[in-house]
Amino acid sequence: MASSARTSTDKASAEFEHIPPTSSPQSLSKAVHARRAEYTRPQKIKVKIGTWNVAACPGTEKDLAGWFVEGKGIDKRLAGLEIADGISDNGSQDNIESVCAQETRRKKKESTIPRGDEGTIPGGDEIGIYVLGLQEVVDLTSAREYIGRVYTDPEPTAKWRKALADSIPPGYVLVSEQQLSGLLLFIFASPTIVPTISSVSTVSVGTGIMGYLGNKGAVTTRIVLGETTRLVFVNSHLASGNDPAHLDRRCWDVAQILQRTHFEPISWAGVLDDTQEGIGEEDFAFWFGDLNFRLDGLPGDDIRRLLMLHTKGEYDVGSKSRDKIDGELGGADGPIVIRSVDSDSDSEGDMPKTNSSNTSDTSSIDLPDPDDFIQDPSQDPASLQATLDSLLPHDQLRHVQKKRKAFHEGWREGPITFLPTYKYDVGSMGMFDSSEKKRAPSWCDRILFRTRRDKLEYDGKMKEEELARLKDEEMKARGIDHAGDDEDVLFDYNPDEDGAEDSANNEYDEYDEGDDDAGQAVITKEGFVDRIHLDFYTSHQRVLSSDHKPLDAVFTLEYDAVVPELKSKIQHEVARELDRAENEGRPGITVVVDSSLDSPQIGGPSDRRASSSSAEGVDFGHVAFLERKSRSLTIANTSAVHTTFAFVDKPSVSGDDRIAPSWLSVYFVGSAKDEDERAKNDLKREVTLEPGDAVNVTLELFVDDISLVTELNQGKAQLDDVLVLRVTDGRDHFIPVRGTWQQSCLGRSIDELIRVPEGGVRALRPPRHGSGGPVNRGREVCWSAPRELFKLTEAVELLTDRVIADSNMLDNAHLPREAPGWPFSLHSWTLQDKSARDTRKQFVLEALDSDKTLNDSFPPELPSRDRLEIMAEVLLLFLGSLTDGIITESLWTSLEHDIMARGPNQLTDPEEIKTWVLDVLSAAPNHNISFVFLTSMLCRVASELAPVPKFSWKEQVAGSARSSIETMRRSLSWKGKAPPLPSDPGVMRRQAVEKAYAEVFTGVIFRGPGSPVKEKERRVVEDRRRDILEAFLKGGRDVA
């Protein structure tokens, strides 16, 4: 079988031989599918399906292992000739317990399986997949019971799961379980099969009370076996009852189950299907359970008595059950007559069905000589099979199939060679319902199955009939409703009368049920060739613990299973081939990273590197604050067609989509704007190259954002990104960009800086444990104030002295005396070239971070005036970058609170103000010392650049006193304003310098809770801070 399956698969794959090579998922799937013979291997397993209505009887779980797993509990004389012959051949019931003994010892606490039964039906580890459907595992007779128990009682599922798990061989794995009220469905698979099962989906559909509750309905599970074969298992319990309305409700239940069952999408190698599948889209389906179909048109008593003619032989004469059966048979009024389904009365064609004791030898006169042919035992009128065959035409299931009301879409069933499974006295092997109701025996419990081929053949037949109906209507519309009226019509066709004969599953035929289906190939939905064969289909008559007899079927399934390793190999091969074929006609580029455009590193070797591919990325090496670095890319069109490409935006957490991070700029050579700026201004960004052409791109890395510096210092951010270069109709190129951050003294707090060891921030080491930026591992305090602040203030003082000396000795070294804020105000700087200033600032910052002498960091040819301006700018940059400030938010809050508390009685004397401020700052000694360092330096610089003799200060003070007296006199005499007193130019310049310095440093020294919203309030805060700073500058006037 396996070899023929392979041949069929090879033929089926021929239609995929000419698949055009493209890169779509569909083409890849088809190309892989065309080579499926290379990654699938034939497999054969047995699937065992069991169904049992346990009627909520206690102790039923104790029989499960015997009948379902071990194949026991079959009555040899009531199971059909094929099974009976098998039992005789293997001797499995040679020492079996008698029926009478079995019934006598029955107890609820032990199994009712007959002793000495060695098992007939395959089980144990012969079975690859066990599927068990149970009905009425709980007794729910009302909606109140249903709602009260279904959602709160897990005991039934746990009890039956344990019973089944303890019965099957070790190693079997639970694939699926689901309870819907009294319905339970379990699927277990062997250790070798479980890894090949995927896409398990279970759906429950209630059709009971109000059409939705679960006292009736179905539990359905879909699995995919071997990545090729869809299997669906439906365990259902349909509406009960004998009336025509009950039959209609059963058909409605079936329709609802089909309509409302939708499985989760199948996952193929991690990719979900777009749609949900339902019942009918599988390759093999199995529908089982208590379908509740009855026998129509026959008196129940006649059916009972007819069947008990066969079961009474299993009992010893004189036993309790035998006496009960004989009593019922002896009370019959006349012969038992089984009429045709369509007959309402006796006719000559009716054949009476009697037991063998009523058959006389004279009947042989009308029969051929038995020696002339081999008699089929089932054709014996007194045989069990003849009795069953006379009852089956009355089966409601066969009727609804024929009338296309239910189970007509290709569903079929194995040959029924066993007694009806319902209804028996609990504890009895063959005593049908002896209660007052005396329910008629019926084959309520069934196992149906259908292949994809069955469904497609039925659908095809329906299409043909529909076409015939439309053709007939067309003929009638043309007036040719009678074939004889048109000589061109060769025959008269009536689709209702002349349609194709019903298939075997629509009309019962006792001669076609035993057909061997092993030769039928089933083409699965995925195009594989599978086969299925029904090996056994029987009831277990000698299971006594329920009023239903359990039923099971064993199928042999041959299928092609995917070998994952082989499929993966084929997928890679196909993908490479498609990619190669497609790339020949697709636009393509090659990106090469050129050598560095930078100058050598300060105090270090050159960063120049040889060219490399874009896969290795762009490495900027060591990067420091305000250090500008560049790299160059060459983008060449290496395809055979013109190529258009552009750098594309990437989404960010902030919502500001950018091509590159803020610290990186991307320029195409010849463009003055970087790509992010071009995107912001909606300028054209695409570049088109003809084959063989190339273009250069410059990448520039520059860090000037203090907030980014803080994150880089702390290890919260990295100089690491990926540029995306998108080729139109081609593949994207990803260009990694990275740099190694050099620790900076900027962007830190005073508390951090006082712990920086000798050697500067570059001497910090990574933490021993965890992540984050480099630290002083000892964490000890090294300085009373930041050493960087001390070095900067000292350098400013020394350079101020040098500048003054140069201005006195050199003609071209004059000081900008017209600018009182020099050298701290940016408007007063004589060196206005920002690029040159950034380069020289970087020299100072490098020395500051490495704990080197600051004045030695400048080139020797740089004038002292430029040096002072650069040093002043670095000082302001350093102060502004402090995360907590010289005067922290909490210190400023205390100062402002004191100011508000004084009201109109504010301090005016500089010495008093200094005393008050230093007293508040004493709460933070490191900040206090830093503030004193800074203000002392400012006083000395002001004194050097704007000196005032002491006598001028005295005159100015006296003048101020006289001015106050004059003001008082004018106020008392109501006279006009007196002329202003003359002021000393030196004093006025000094005051202007102090005011200018206070304005410059106010913004970098103080930290507050945030700027006030109103402009007036903001100015008040600025004035208060400036007044405090000016008080310290005025307090240093006596140093001159």
Q: pLDDT tens for residues 675-708? A: 777 777 667 778 999 999 999 999 999 999 999 9
Least confidently predicted of 668-672, 776-780, 795-799 = 776-780
581 pLDDT band (50/70/90 cuts)? confident
Structure tokens at 438: 């005396």
At 518 the pLDDT is 52
Position with higher pLDDT, 415 vs 775: 415
pLDDT for position 249: 96
pLDDT in tens, 441-470: 999 999 999 999 999 999 999 999 999 999
Average pLDDT over residues 645-654: 80
Dihedral of the alpha carbons of 265, 267, 271, 274, in degrees to the nearest 10: -20
pLDDT value of residue 639: 87
Query: Which three-class secondary structure string do you get for 406-421?
Result: CCCCCCEECCCCCCCC
Q: Count of residues for the chain?
A: 1040
Q: How far is CA 495 from CA 76, 498, 507, 809, in A?
A: 47, 5, 18, 125
Strands 522-523 and 589-593: unpaired
What is residue 977's DSSP assignment? P
**What are the backbone dihedrals phi and psi of residue 418, each rounded to the nearest 5 degrees, phi first?**
-125, 160
CA–CA distance, 737 with 725 (Å, rounded to integer): 13
Average pLDDT over residues 59-76: 94
When pLDDT is averaged across residues 37-61 and rounded to a whole number, the result is 94
**Displacement of CA 1024 from its chain's centroid (Å):** 59
- Rg over CA atoms, the chain: 50
Contact 475, 579 (CB under 8 A): no
CA separation, residue 247 to residues 142, 396, 602 (Å): 21, 8, 95
Does residue 342 surpass a pLDDT of 60? no
- Return the H-helix or E-strand segment holding 20: none
* Residue 741 near residue 718, CB atoms below 8 Å: yes
Residue 635 has pLDDT above 90, yes or no: yes
Q: Is the pLDDT of residue 957 over 60?
A: no
Name the band, by pLDDT with cuts 50, 70 and 90, for residue 337.
low
Q: What is the mean pLDDT of residues 836-856?
A: 90
> What whole-number distance in Å separates Cα of residue 231 and Cα of residue 559?
11
Separation between Cα atoms, residue 392 and residue 341, nearest integer Å? 10
Query: Tokens 């003055």 sit at which residue?
Result: 672
**Rounded distance between C-alpha atoms, residue 650 and residue 657, angstroms:** 6
Backbone angles phi, psi at 985, to 5 degrees: -60, -35
When pLDDT is averaged across residues 90-110 and rounded to a whole number, the result is 88
The mean per-residue pLDDT over the stretch 338-347 comes to 45
Average pLDDT of the residues in 621-650: 90
**pLDDT level of residue 401 (50, 70, 90 thresholds):** very high
**207-266 pLDDT per residue, tens:** 988 877 878 999 999 999 998 999 999 999 999 999 999 999 999 999 999 999 999 998
Indicate the DSSP class of residue 25: H
Confidence of residue 510 (pLDDT cuts 50, 70, 90): very low
What pLDDT is recorded for position 24?
58
Which of 508-517, 662-671, 770-779, 842-851 has the least mean pLDDT? 508-517
Per-residue pLDDT at 928 = 94
Helix (H) or strand (E) holding 304: helix 300-311
Residue 491 has pLDDT above 90, yes or no: no
**Rounded to an integer, what is the distance from CA 833 to the centroid of its chain?**
56
Residue 74's pLDDT is 95
> What does the pLDDT read at residue 145?
57
Give the mean model confidence (pLDDT) for residues 485-513.
47
User: For a pLDDT cut of 90, what percent of the chain falls above it?
Assistant: 49
Q: Is 673 exposed, middle or buried (0-12, 13-18, 19+ CB in 10 A)?
A: middle
Band of residue 721 on the pLDDT scale cut at 50, 70, 90 = very high
Q: Residue 810 and residue 607: Cα distance in Å, rounded?
A: 40
Q: State mean pLDDT over 524-549.
A: 92
419-446-343 Cα angle (round to 5):
65
* pLDDT computed for residue 10 by the predictor: 44
Task: Give the mean model confidence (pLDDT) for residues 37-59.
Answer: 94
Please say whether the beta carbons of 521 and 30 come within 8 A: no
Average pLDDT of the segment spanning 273-280: 87
Cα distances from 400 to residues 296, 362, 405, 518, in angstroms, run 12, 41, 5, 27
Which position has the higher pLDDT, 699 or 953? 699
- Read off the pLDDT band of 349 (50, 70, 90): very low
Q: What is the pLDDT of residue 672?
A: 67
How far apart CA 268 and CA 271 sit, in angstroms, is: 5
pLDDT of residue 418: 95
d(CA 988, CA 995): 11
CB 283 within 8 A of CB 522: yes
Instruction: Examine the pLDDT at 357 and tell me if it is beyond 60.
Output: no
Most confident residue range from 76-85, 229-238, 597-606 = 229-238
Q: Give yes or no for a contact between 750 and 786, defined as CB atoms under 8 angstroms apart.
A: yes
Per residue, what are the HEC states of 105-145? CCCCCCCCCCCCCCCCCCCHHHCCEEEEEEECCCCCCCHHH
Instruction: Give DSSP secondary structure letters for 164-186.
Output: HHHHSPTT-EEEEEEEETTEEEE
Q: How many CA atoms lie within 13 A of 943 on its CB side?
A: 19
pLDDT given for residue 45 in this prediction: 96
Helices and strands of the chain, counted as H and E runs:
27, 27
Residue 1003 parent element (H or E): helix 985-1005
The confidence band for 1034, taking pLDDT boundaries of 50, 70 and 90, is: confident
Strand partners, 424: 432
Instruction: Give me the sign of the Cα torsion angle 943, 946, 952, 954.
Output: negative
Confidence tier at 149 by pLDDT (50, 70, 90)? low
Report angle CA 792, 794, 796 to the nearest 5 degrees. 70
pLDDT at 596: 58
Specify the pLDDT at position 382. 75
User: How large a percentage of the chain has pLDDT more than 70?
Assistant: 79
Range 645-656 average pLDDT? 78
Mean pLDDT over 548-567 rounds to 93
Which residues are within 8 A (CB) of 48 and not within 5 positions of it... i.e. 6 or more apart?
68, 121, 122, 123, 127, 129, 130, 131, 552, 553, 554, 555
- Average pLDDT rounded to a whole number, residues 875-882: 94
pLDDT tens readout for residues 968-1023: 444 444 444 444 445 678 888 888 999 999 999 999 999 988 766 688 888 889 99
What integer pLDDT is reported at residue 839 of this predicted model? 87
Mean pLDDT of the chain: 82
Distance from C-alpha of 727 to C-alpha of 638, rounded to nearest angstrom? 12
Judged by phi (left if over 0) then psi (alpha if -120 to 50, else beta), residue 78 lies in: alpha
Structure tokens at 752: 């951090």
Give pLDDT, residue 248.
95
Average pLDDT over residues 644-649: 90
Reported confidence tier of residue 812, pLDDT bands at 50, 70, 90: confident
Structure confidence at residue 506 as a pLDDT band (50, 70, 90): very low
Higher-pLDDT residue of 585 and 842 is 842
The secondary structure of residue 378, as a DSSP letter, is G
Contact, 958 vs 951, CB < 8 A? no
Q: In what order do the strands lie in the sheet with 643-647?
A: 618-623, 733-741, 720-727, 643-647, 687-689
CA neighbor of 874 nearest in space, from 833, 839, 926:
839
What residues contact residue 931 under an 8 Å CB cut-off, 6+ apart?
886, 887, 921, 1005
Does pLDDT of 717 surpass 60? yes
List of residues 6+ apart from 758 with CB closer than 8 A: 782, 851
State the pLDDT at residue 503.
43
Q: Nearest CA to 296 among 152, 397, 148, 151? A: 397
What pLDDT, on a 0 to 100 scale, did the predictor assign at position 478?
A: 81
What pLDDT is recorded for position 348? 36
CA nearest to 587, candidates 660, 636, 637, 545: 637
> In Å, what is the CA distance from 248 to each residue of 242, 243, 300, 395?
10, 9, 21, 15
Look at residue 64 in the predicted model and tell me its pLDDT: 96
pLDDT at site 926: 94
Q: Are 942 and 1033 in contact (CB under 8 A)?
A: yes
Alpha helices for 124-275 (secondary structure H): 143-150, 155-167, 244-260
CA-based nearest residue to 60, from 141, 130, 163: 163
Residue entry with tokens 């007052």: 436
At 952 the pLDDT is 54
92, 97, 98, 99 alpha-carbon torsion, rounded to 10°: -90
- Cis, bond preceding 476 (omega within 30 deg of 0): no
In the predicted structure, residue 803 carries a pLDDT above the cut 80: yes
Instruction: Please give the structure tokens belonging to residue 156.
Output: 């039934």
* Cis bond upstream, residue 244 (ω within 30): no
Half-sphere exposure of 324 (CA within 13 A, CB side): 16
Judged by average pLDDT, the poorest of 42-51, 264-273, 629-638 is: 264-273
